[in-house]
Structure 1
Amino acid sequence: MTEATNPYAGKTPASVATFKSAHGFSVTVARLRGLLADKGMTIFVDIDQADAAAEVGMTLRPTRLIVFGNPKGGTPVMQANPCAALLLPLKALVWEDDARATWLAIDDVTDALVDGYGLDASIVEPIAKAKGLIEMVAAREPA
């Protein structure tokens, strides 16, 4: 699967990778959570943003923000530059568009960590793999 043109193309930074899921919203969220667990990632928080909107009397299409990471990969980054923690842990977004297609997005912070925070690419390498994990979740094949 390759990156798909999301309905908001041109309205997100170039670092945001977006993938159209071959699955419905609930299945995509379950696949994401399962794959992250299988890869030894910690899910720090799973925010149901549609539910939060409903709590204040507003509506939002199904939208979940999952904040995740692995301290074994993130700690060396933050040791090298504490301000890099502004980009960590990583975040994956799952949302349903108006046509009921499900999308996943991740902000690939690799370049920002290397170029903006001056980190060596070898330290950032474990974090760079996250984009591939999100792509796997979107694919038709089992994650």
Structure 2
Amino acid sequence: MKAAASFPSSVSTFKSEHGFSITVARLRGLLADKGMTIFVDIDQADAAAQVGMTLRPMRLIVFGNPKGGTPVMQANACAGLLLPLKALVWEDDARVTWLAIDDVTGALVDGYGLEASLVEPLAKAKALVQMAAARDPV
């Protein structure tokens, strides 16, 4: 990741101990293992190539669990602008793989007026993204 990169404090980034393809596979596997639905997996580099542009390897994985997200959207329909959750996996110019996730729980509580206890289950997604980046225990 370039040092000049800027993003909100709600975004957490993790340097992966694995290559790009393995990191994507690990993230998808962890999400599935935890009962998450992967709604869409967007290959952003492929989309760029389709219009004659180049982009380093980058995938946006849109995921969630309707058991956790539905009550949030029932309480405030506009919360659907932040849900489902999204994780970004990309490779930088040095071929280092990174993952990022935006913890939307603060925005849902502060901006959408939802109870913290209602959105708390969504915060667990950050740990899954971090696990995908980590080296396996020996």
What is the TM-score with the length of structure 2 in the denominator?
0.96
Q: Sequence identity of aligned pairs in percent? A: 82
How much does 1:7 deviate? 2.3
Deviation at 1:8, TM superposition (A): 4.9
Alignment RMSD (CA, Å): 1.1
Q: Which residue of 2 aligns with 1:131?
A: 126
Runs of 4+ in 1 over 4 A off after TM superposition: none
The separation in 2 between residues aligned to 1:83 and 1:125, in whole angstroms, is: 18
**Structure 2 unmatched ranges of 5 or more:** none
Alignment correspondent of 1:12: 7
Which secondary structure does the structure 2 equivalent of 1:88 belong to?
A: coil
Partner SS state of residue 129, structure 1: helix
AA partner of residue 68 (structure 2): G
SS at match of 2:70: helix
Output the CA distance in 1 between the equivalents of 2:101 and 2:15: 12
Superposed displacement of residue 10, structure 1: 5.3
The SS at the match of 1:65 is strand
Aligned to 1:131, the other structure's residue is in SS state helix
1:93 aligns with 88
Q: After TM superposition, give the deviation of residue 78 of structure 1 in Å.
A: 0.3
Q: Which residue of 2 aligns with 1:122?
A: 117
Unmatched 5+ stretches in structure 1: 1-5
Structure-2 residue corresponding to 1:55: 50
Q: Distance in 1 between matches of 2:5 and 2:54?
A: 25
**2:59 matched to 1:64?**
yes
The reply to whether residue 36 of structure 1 matches residue 25 of structure 2 is no
Summarize the Cα distance change of 1:8–1:108 in structure 2 as closer, same or farther, 3 Å threshold. Answer: farther
Q: Secondary structure of 2:68's match?
A: helix
Aligned residues: 137
**Residue 125 of structure 1: CA displacement?**
1.2
CA distance in 1, matches of 2:57, 2:48: 10
